[in-house]
Structure 1
Amino acid sequence: MRILYSIFVLGVVLALSGFAFIHSGVYNVTAMDEHSSLGKWALHTTMKNSVEARGSEVDVPSNLASEEMIRQGARGYDQLCVACHLKPGLEDTLLRQGLNPTPPSLTEAGAFGPGEQFWIIKNGIKMTGMPAWGVTHDDKDLWEITAFIQRLPSLSEAEYTRLVQPEPGVQAKADDGHDHDHGNMDGMMMMGESSQGESSHGAPGHHAMSGQDSASQSEASGHHSEKEPKAASEPKADDHYADGHSH
């Protein structure tokens, strides 16, 4: 009986200690500090086992390796994923450098199969910065991205570019009516593009001109500040991800 009482008291003490620790603010949640080795192991192992348990139940489409799915998925990947998971020829990005844990580079072969990758893309991963794209995209879109990710590690920089920006003669088989324009994340990738040369801080072309500087330059050159309407960008006819249906 005394043993049970001692266990109960110990449990109460541990619970109160944990409660006090949580409310004390002692633990620093800054993303600038790395997790401890034990913390990394615990978080990664928990995530890996969770994904494997759920991804193993996903039915993988039989046409996952088709060139059409891969081509369509290339555009989705380029618009949604590159800022975190890189592409051939891109070593790092502004966004990726600030994330902790650092997102894996999908240009290298990973441990997850297509079912698991699809589950991650659709459901996201808590407290990693990985969003749940299933909130804004249907399964067809996400399977196309999954198909491309399976091919990505084997692609050269030129091959990647051809898939994302096909030559004029390469057209989509059909417009299936569920295109998406995922937006432009170039601003989050400038550091990666400058990593082979100058740092983005202070590098030419890496900062937008302020309104005041723009006005001053306009007056100095004799131009008035009247704004001309910008022509609306038109989606490419074969772009499965560019009809303005943005998310």
Structure 2
Amino acid sequence: MFDQFTRAFWKKFFAVVAAAGVVVGILGVAAISLGLMPISARTPHMQVTTQLLHFVFKRSTARTAEQFTAPDDLMSPERIALGMQHYNNVCSSCHGGPELGQSPIALSQRPRPQHLPAVVDQFSDEQLYVILRNGVKFSAMPSWPADSNFDEIWSVVAFIRNLPNMTAEEYIAGTTRTMPEGAPALPFEAPVALSPMDRGPQAYPIDEYLYAAPGTGWHEYASNNDIIATCTSCHGADGSGSPTLGLAPNLTVQSADYLAKALREYASGARPSGIMMTVAASLTNDQIDGLAAYYDSLPDVPSPQDQASAADLAAGEQIALMGKPDAVIPACYTCHQNIATQANMVVPGISGQSEAYLRNKLDQFATGTWYGDGAWQPMGHISQALTPEDRANLAAYFAAQPAGETAPALTMATADLANAETIVGQVCAECHTESGVGVDSGEFPNLTIQTATYLAQQLRAFHARERDNETMSMVAGRLSDQDKTDLAQYFGNAVAQPSPAPSAPFATAAEITNGQLIAQNGIADKNIPACLSCHGAEPTDDLPIVARLHGQAGRYIENRLQALGSDANTGLYSLSPMHGIARDMNVQERHDVAAWFAAQDPLPK
């Protein structure tokens, strides 16, 4: 009887609770629909609301922070200096400064942003990193405006950690901007068209947001003609990077083409940087071009020196001049010759660049993230193949070179051509013939059309199994380093010879004509660049590690494109961009472009 009574009681109790819930739900929907729910930010949150929101925020932050570890150089002077400039550009608008109050606009937000000098000690370094990286929903705290390259966040953490011990005088002195004498005014004019901006997944409703540049800036750097003065806060009045002790790069060693390209990539999000996107996304195209031209016009000046550096400059020079053959890493000077363009690609000058900046960039490349909208992006692979000591040595070596100096001539070791001739007769001739031109089936490549640098690089790639060819890997594995050098120069320094005529017709005139269009113009709707932008005469002269295709056997090129585009090459050695390009071409396009190259005369060496 007791059980019966108990069950009846609880049944009625839950029925009443359910009914009450329905009533409350109906009243809530009615209140929302009638606009009766208060959302005014004029009235502060109740204390219990503030405490609940802050408790959830701190617990979530603490849990997420467990997966991160602050870098060893967190409190380095250069990180603190760079972090101060970004804090002043962005964070101070809401969070105030040392011995300085907060904006009345910030204090009118709900919830209010905290005065960081007063609360920074409540958070660990890792928790500060998480807050800056991820932002905080239901508040005005944004996530970091870049989806990778998060290392720069640690510089802001370093500065924030120092806020409680900094005076207002120190902060003002460190963030005061001055317009360099003779710097041009760069007026902000209405743009003809906006450029798209990649800021991750777009929010619903799409038509209520505009992901485009130029936009209005946080401090209106662009529209207030404050651009160059803003740049000086990190890069200095002379462009050397001195205010950040070199963690911000020396701009005077770069070309106008490179600076303009970098700024446009920052603005669009193609090159991720929360620090630089904030500024670049507010600039018009004319302002970007004017800014790039201004810094290109400045005299090359020395970068800040790292007085504590213990790097081995001689070891860095060895890699800069010779690369790391066993790791299939070419000499740095192959690309970085401090000229405006290299193989139609805008390449940064690094001689005379600051050691702190170069070391930091190489370390970040080694994390596996990379940026840029071009097809060829080799620095991730290269940096991963370098040890931390290698990267430090390279940074120190290039920092010690005169700013803007062109590269020394790169030379290969002296070759023993008699040894090469013996190896050719015993091994290479079986597939490539003794002359090295291949056979009429087109199955094997013509070696005489390539440079010695390219051939040496490929033999090392086969040896390291970076190129997928079991036969060639076995052959290269039996060759000594000297053998590889001898063979590369034996064929690479020889006069380029035509490939044998194919044993059967390979292509029609119409197919060759279609291949020419692809080679010269690419395939726009597939975002495939023109083949000649890398494989043309001038690019292959400038970058001898790029394959020459003119006069190569058509069947060989077609087979290579087929292999490069297959799933087996998804993780292709990143000195080659060809997986993505070949993958997006159909069978006919691969055939036709191969046919056009095969119909051309070999390029002279």
TM range (shorter): 0.5 to 0.7
Q: Could you tell me which residue of structure 2 aligns to residue 143 of structure 1? A: 154
Change (3 A) 1:3 1:89: closer
Structure 2 residue runs without a partner (length 5+)? 1-10, 176-232, 251-261, 263-272, 281-286, 305-353, 358-605
User: Structure 1 residue 137: deviation in Å?
Assistant: 6.5
Q: Is the 8 A contact 1:96 1:103 kept in 2?
A: yes
Change (3 A) 1:75 1:181: farther
Map 1:40-189 onto structure 2 (within 5 A).
Answer: 40-110=50-120, 111-135=122-146, 138-164=149-175, 172-173=245-246, 175=249, 180=276, 182-183=278-279
2:276 match: secondary structure: coil
Structure 1 outlier segments of 4+, above 4 Å: 165-171, 176-179, 231-240
User: Structure 1 residue 181: deviation in Å?
Assistant: 6.3
Change (3 A) 1:87 1:136: farther
Superposed CA offset, 1:7-35 (max 9, x none): 33233233323323332311221222111
How far, CA to CA, are the matches of 1:145 and 1:152 in structure 2? 11
Percent identity reads 23
How far, CA to CA, are the matches of 1:77 and 1:113 in structure 2? 18
Return the structure number with greater helix share.
2
User: Structure 1 residue 129: deviation in Å?
Assistant: 1.1
Change (3 A) 1:136 1:41: same
Q: Could you tell me which residue of structure 2 aligns to residue 12 of structure 1? A: 22
How far, CA to CA, are the matches of 2:243 and 2:62 in structure 1? 37
Change (3 A) 1:30 1:8: closer
User: Structure 1 residue 232: deviation in Å?
Assistant: 4.7
How far, CA to CA, are the matches of 1:96 and 1:65 in structure 2? 29
Q: Is the 8 A contact 2:81 2:244 kept in 1?
A: no
Q: Is the 8 A contact 1:114 1:146 kept in 2?
A: yes
The residue type paired with residue 26 of structure 1 is: L
Q: Is the 8 A contact 1:76 1:182 kept in 2?
A: no
Q: Could you tell me which residue of structure 2 aligns to residue 207 of structure 1? A: none
Change (3 A) 1:105 1:137: farther
User: Structure 1 residue 91: deviation in Å?
Assistant: 1.7
How far, CA to CA, are the matches of 2:99 and 2:144 in structure 1? 25
Q: Is the 8 A contact 1:69 1:147 kept in 2?
A: yes
2:118 match: secondary structure: coil
User: Structure 1 residue 94: deviation in Å?
Assistant: 4.6
User: Structure 1 residue 85: deviation in Å?
Assistant: 0.8
The residue type paired with residue 63 of structure 2 is: A
1:19 match: secondary structure: helix
CA RMSD of aligned residues (A): 3.4
Change (3 A) 1:30 1:232: farther
How far, CA to CA, are the matches of 1:96 and 1:123 in structure 2? 20
Change (3 A) 1:68 1:171: closer
1:71 match: secondary structure: helix
- 1:29 equivalenced with 2:39 (yes/no): yes
The residue type paired with residue 27 of structure 1 is: M
Q: Is the 8 A contact 2:145 2:277 kept in 1?
A: no
RCO comparison, higher one (Cα < 8 Å, 6+): 1
Superposed CA offset, 1:54-75 (max 9, x none): 2233222222111121111111
How far, CA to CA, are the matches of 2:147 and 2:96 in structure 1? 22
Superposed CA offset, 1:70-91 (max 9, x none): 1111111111101111113532
Change (3 A) 1:21 1:56: farther
The residue type paired with residue 31 of structure 2 is: F
The residue type paired with residue 180 of structure 1 is: M
How far, CA to CA, are the matches of 1:149 and 1:90 in structure 2? 14
Change (3 A) 1:26 1:171: closer
How far, CA to CA, are the matches of 2:89 and 2:244 in structure 1? 19
Q: Is the 8 A contact 1:123 1:134 kept in 2?
A: no
How far, CA to CA, are the matches of 1:55 and 1:85 in structure 2? 21
